[in-house]
Chains A and B, each alone.
Chain A
C-alpha cells in the first residue's frame, strides 16, 4: 500500500508534467519548411507561428522533463510503501480528579481496553492525574485497571487543577498524533475519555479544543454520584482547622469555634484528631494580614472579599499581595473585590495549607454574621474543593460533546510538513541527472539547428 505524505506536492508535480507535455504539443516555434512554388501569393507576415501537432515535438526532451518533475514530486511528497498493518487507533484518556469513583474509572478502563490490542487496532493510554502521562505502546498494553487504586488519591485529590475536558482532549490529540506518526497504516482514530465530568469541566477552551478533534468522542463519566450538598448541610458537616504560623486574632478563632468546628493551634493534631475525621486543614491566617511569603504593601481599604460566589462586605484593610510565584503553586479560594487573590490553597504531601491575607480587626464581629459563612466554608472545606459540590454534566451535554458521525480520520493528525521519502536523495539525484541530460541534449539540438541555419543562410535559402 502506497502512502503519500504530501499529496499536494505530488499533484503539483503531476500538473507540471502535464503542462510540459501539453506545451510540447503546442509550442511557438519556427514551423517546418515546405517548398511551395507559389509562395509569392502568401501574405508576407511573421514566420513564427503557433504550431499545433498531433504528435509531440522533441519526444525525448518531453519525457526527460516530465520524468524529472515527477521524480522531484515523488521525492518531496514523501511517497512511501506502507505495507499492511493496523488501521484503527484508539486513544483512552483517563482523567482523574476529585469526585472520581474508582470503580467507575476501573470499569471504564476495562471496557475501553477490551479488544484494544487485537486485530488491526492499536491503543494508547493517557493518564491525567497531577500530570499528563502518555503511556507508550508497551505501557499501554501492560496497564491494568487494578493499578488505579494503588495511586495515592492525594495525587489528584489535592490537585489544584480542575479536570477539564479541554485538557483531556488536547492530551488525546497529542497521543493520536504520536500513534499516527508511529503507525503509518492507521486510517482512523477512536478517542475515549473517562473523567469525572462536572460543569467545571467545561472551560473557555472547550469549543476550540473540541473543534480540533474532527470526529466523534466516547465520553465515560466517572464522577461519583454524591448527593448534592447544600450550603446549609455543608455548614453542618463537622469541620476543623489547624492554625499555623502567626497566631490569628481572636475574632477569627472565635468565628470557627462559634460554629462548632474544631479549632487547633500550632498543628496540635492530637487535639484536632478526635474532633474531625479525615485530613486536617492547615490555615495560616495572621492577624496582620500578611501570610508568610506574601509581599507587604501599603495598607489600603477594600470593600469586600468573595468566596464560593458570595461576597463579604466590610471595610477591610489590605496589607499584602500574593507574589506570582506563590499564586502559581496553589488554588485561589477567596478573592478581593478587585479580583486579587485574598486566600490561596497550596497542597502539601498529605494535606493542604491555606494562606489567608484578610486582616480582621480583633474587635470586629464581621465573621460572626451570615455574610462570612461562605468565606469560612471555603477556608475550612476539604482540600481541592468539596466532593460533590460540583454538579455532574447532564447526559444531553455529554451527548453534544460526543458528537455524531465517524471516527476522526488519521490524516488530520499527520504533519503537513514535508515528509522525506527514504529514497528521496536518490530520486532527487536522478532528477538532477535527467535535467542535466536534458540541458545537454537541448544544447546539442540547438547547435545542430544553428549549423543548419548557418548553412542555409550561406546557401541563401533562408534570409
Chain B
C-alpha cells in the first residue's frame, strides 16, 4: 500500500457509511434492520396477536392495564459490502500519468480501497470482485487485514481485455451493498438490467463512473484512435473536425448513463481523474451520490473542489 493510500485512509478515519434504508435481517451490526427483533433498543408496543412469542409480552404493562402488549424493538444488522472493480483494458488510460493526474485505474483503485476501509471500519464485511484482469474475488469478511487483502488484490490486478460486470453481479445476494466502479464502456446494458433486479430485491447499489480528463480534453494533433477493449474494431481518425462531434457524443453518453443508473434506483457519481479519491469516498458514503441523482440531472460531475457537504447543502 502506497504512502498516498495511507494518507487517504487517514483522511477517511472516523467516516461511517450508513445504509440508505433498513437492511435485511442479519448478524448484529450498525445498520438499522427491517426486522423488529429482541434487542434492548425499545421502539413501540403492539397488541399481542396469536402466534407472538409470549416471552416478548410486557408483563408489567399487562399487570397495570390488564391488556396484553408485545414489546417491539428495532434490530441492527450488518450489511455485506461488495466492491466491484472494472479492470478492463480501457481503465489503463492514459498510459502514463499526465500533469500529475492518475490513470483511471489508479483512481478506481484508490476509491475502492477507501470504500473498503470505510465499510470495514463500520464492522461491515467487505468483499471484492474484479471484472476482467485477473478476476480476483474476495468474499466479504470483517476480520483484520481485510482492507490490506483488498488493496493487495487490486494492486496485483492488471487491466486486460474487456469487462463483463453483469455476470459478477448476478449471483450476488440482494441483502448487500454493492459499489460498481467502472468506466461503463463495457456491458453497460446487461449490468443495468442486473442492477435493477438486485435493487428490486433490496440491494443498495452505487456506481462510480470513472472518467479520465484526457478523455474529455483530447490531445492536439491527428491520431488514429484504437479501442483497447475492442481490439477487433476498426480504428478511427482523431482530427480537428472530429473533436466537436466526439465531445458531443461522449457528453450524451455520460448524461444517458447517469440517467439510466439513477432511473434504476442506484446511486451514480462521475469521478474524474483530477478529483481527490478521499473526497469521492466521502461523497459516496454520505449518500450524496444518491441525492445527487435527484439534482444532478444537469450532468454536473463532482469536481476536485466540490465537497460532499456542499453538495448536500
Which chain A residues have a beta carbon within 8 Å of chain B's beta carbons?
30-53, 459-463
Write out the residue numbers on chain A whose beta carbons fall within 8 Å of the beta carbon of B239. 31, 49
Nearest chain B CB to A457 CB, angstrom units: 11
Write out the residue numbers on chain A whose beta carbons fall within 8 Å of the beta carbon of B229. 37
Task: Pick the residue among B95, B212, B215, B223 that contacts A32 (CB under 8 A).
Answer: B223
B225 interface contact, C-beta 8 A: yes
Write out the residue numbers on chain A whose beta carbons fall within 8 Å of the beta carbon of B250. 38, 41
Over the window 200-220 of chain B, the binary record of Cβ atoms lying under 8 Å from chain A Cβ atoms (1 yes, 0 no) is 000000000000100100110
B231 interface contact, C-beta 8 A: yes
Write out the residue numbers on chain A whose beta carbons fall within 8 Å of the beta carbon of B95. 35
B63 interface contact, C-beta 8 A: no
Within 8 A of A (CB), among B229-255: 229-239, 242, 245-246, 249-250, 253
Nearest chain B CB to A381 CB, angstrom units: 92
Instruction: Say whether B231 contacts A39, CB under 8 Å.
Output: no
B227 interface contact, C-beta 8 A: yes
Task: Find the residue from B183, B224, B227, B232 having the highest chain A CB count within 10 A.
Answer: B224
Instruction: Say whether A33 contacts B253, CB under 8 Å.
Output: no
Instruction: Say whether A36 contacts B253, CB under 8 Å.
Output: no
Instruction: Say whether B237 contacts A37, CB under 8 Å.
Output: no
Instruction: Say whether A42 contacts B246, CB under 8 Å.
Output: yes
Instruction: Say whether A37 contacts B222, CB under 8 Å.
Output: no
A42-B246, A43-B242, A461-B231 as given contacts; A34 in contact with B226, CB under 8 Å: yes
How many angstroms between the C-alpha atoms of A32 and B235 in the bound complex?
11
Given A31-B239, A36-B215, A36-B218, 5 more contacts at CB 8 Å? A32-B223, A33-B226, A34-B224, A39-B227, A41-B253
How many angstroms between the C-alpha atoms of A459 and B95 in the bound complex?
20
A460-B231, A462-B235 as given contacts; A43 in contact with B246, CB under 8 Å: yes
B228 interface contact, C-beta 8 A: yes
Write out the residue numbers on chain A whose beta carbons fall within 8 Å of the beta carbon of B230. 40
B93 interface contact, C-beta 8 A: yes
B90 interface contact, C-beta 8 A: yes
Write out the residue numbers on chain A whose beta carbons fall within 8 Å of the beta carbon of B237. 31, 42, 45-49
Instruction: Say whether B231 contacts A44, CB under 8 Å.
Output: no
Nearest chain B CB to A379 CB, angstrom units: 95
Give 18 pairs: A residue, B residue, CB < 8 Å, sorted on A. Answer: A31-B221, A31-B222, A35-B93, A35-B226, A36-B225, A36-B226, A37-B89, A37-B93, A37-B185, A37-B228, A42-B245, A42-B249, A43-B236, A43-B245, A49-B237, A462-B226, A463-B233, A463-B234
How many angstroms between the C-alpha atoms of A222 and B38 in the bound complex?
147
Closest-by-CB residue of A relative to B247 is: A41
